[in-house]
Structure 1
Amino acid sequence: MSERYLYRIENEGKRPSYNVLYRMIRTLNVSADIFFYPEKRTDDTEVDHLLRMLCNADERALEVIKATATALINTAPEKQL
């Protein structure tokens, strides 16, 4: 995708094709709601941020994250009621 094409989308109101829009959403790792429902308020929670990071992680990173999370959960002190 050329810079000129992006410029035309951003500044001249050109509408991207479905494939281009799809690639932009995936590349930016954002919700499609931002484009289709811009009036909808979205709060980027810590969990949402972590989920986006997980979607971009490779297999090795996922294994490390899984092992770390398991270790943290298994060694956490029990909550007092």
Structure 2
Amino acid sequence: MAKRPIEKYDFKAFGEAIKAAWTGRKESRKKVSDEMYISPRYLANIENKGQHPSLQIFIELVRRYNISVDQFLFDSPVGKDTNRLQLDALLDNMSDNGIRIVTATAKEIAEVEKEDK
């Protein structure tokens, strides 16, 4: 039986999102790889060369950095994108005062964007 011709998924965009997430948190590749029990080279290959991670590592990275799988796997993402998931995670850990500040800022941004239209 012949192999089914199927295009191999390119994980480069996912790798770039992972790298941006841990650098944004001011973590090091060594710290991330040590905590995930993987080699720094494996993580670097996922980030820079689009190496396919194992399913377990993929899931751990998605959860660790609140990465939206939808934006990488579907042409029309169904759920929230990565930026919104990461913002939700930040908001979940914020005090009531912080939420008030973020809400006021968001309202002001919405007003300015409405005026620009």
**TM-score, structure 1 normalization:** 0.47
**TM-score, structure 2 normalization:** 0.35
Query: Relative contact order (alpha carbons < 8 A, sep ≥ 6): 1 or 2 greater?
Result: 2
